[in-house]
Structure 1
Amino acid sequence: MTVTGAHVRRAIDRDGIRCCEVEVRTDQLEAPELLAFFGTSQDNDYDLVAIVKNDASSEIDWYDNSMHSAYSDISMELFETTTMKTNWGERELFKEQVLSYPGVRAELHRLLDV
């Protein structure tokens, strides 16, 4: 999977963790648009906390409603191998592609490192 676009939407609390919501566009037909959530890590970088996909049709669900049930957490299945284990190399590659997209890391720093 290749990231074709990314921008930080906002800072939020997700399950008690302060993080930023990043809208990500990919070259995957199954998941062309995702929301990736990043929080701070102990090594002065950012952790990929979760990845969600919106399954709603834009013609039917035309408003931005993050509480909508069409948003499903695909954090585990997105990088799952045929043996049902996480491909950490692919997950890390995705994370680094998002973080290195122009402006993303700087905006995360601005919003999370107060």
Structure 2
Amino acid sequence: MITIKEAAIARFTERNDVWCADVEVKAEGVEGTLIAEFAATKSDEFDLRHVYRKDASREIDWYDNNLHDAYQNVSKELFGQPSNKSKWGSREEFIEGILAFGSIREELTEHYRLSRTASLFHADDVEDQTYLH
């Protein structure tokens, strides 16, 4: 089990036509800062899409630096494959630990609720689509 020591929403952004929230996480037993990427689902839950290890440095990343990989996807390293039942449970505990930390769940819920309401298209079928902008 990975215990969450700190969690804070870093930004809301769009990746591959899906609105995402990046949550910076410090966890017990995990070196450095992790970025947990969440997207909302139709049922008002949150899907953990990826987990990245943040290796960005202000000294070398203040511009578009391709000399190193500042954000490495560590989802498989942390949780293995979804079919691996023993590690899949730790993934769910990790998600719940982040969402339960402080006001993370409430902030995500409010942001995505407002995103749906403010949709440019504001049609009846908006609720069935993954965030329009």
**Which TM-score applies when normalising by structure 1?**
0.79
Instruction: Return the structure number with greater relative CO, CA threshold 8 A, min gap 6.
Output: 1
For the residue of structure 2 that corresponds to 1:113, the secondary structure is: helix
- Are residues 1:11 and 2:8 paired? no
> Take 2:22 and 2:49, find their aligned partners in 1: how far apart are those partners?
10
- Kindly provide the amino acid, as one letter, of the partner of residue 4 in structure 2: V
Contact 1:4 1:25 in 2 (8 A): yes
Higher helix residue share: 2
1:78 aligns with 2:72: no
User: Closer, same or farther in 2 for the Cα pair 1:96/1:49, shift >3 Å?
Assistant: same
Retained in 1: the 8 A contact 2:36–2:50?
A: yes
Q: How does 1:20-99 map to 2 (within 5 A)?
A: 20-29=21-30, 31-56=31-56, 58=57, 60-61=59-60, 63=62, 69-80=69-80, 85=84, 87-99=87-99
Q: Which amino acid aligns with 2:101?
A: Y
TM-score normalised by the chain length of structure 2: 0.69
Verify the 8 A CA contact 2:32 2:54 in the aligned structure 1.
no
Shift of 1:12: 0.5
Question: Which stretches of structure 1, 4 residues or longer, exceed 4 Å deviation after superposition?
Answer: 62-65
Q: Is the 8 A contact 2:23 2:35 kept in 1?
A: yes
Greater Cα radius of gyration, structure 1 or 2: 2
Partners of 1:71 and 1:39 lie apart in 2 by: 18
Identity of aligned residues (%): 30
TM-superposed deviation, 1:44: 1.8
Give 5+ residue unaligned stretches, structure 2. 115-133
Shift of 1:15: 2.4
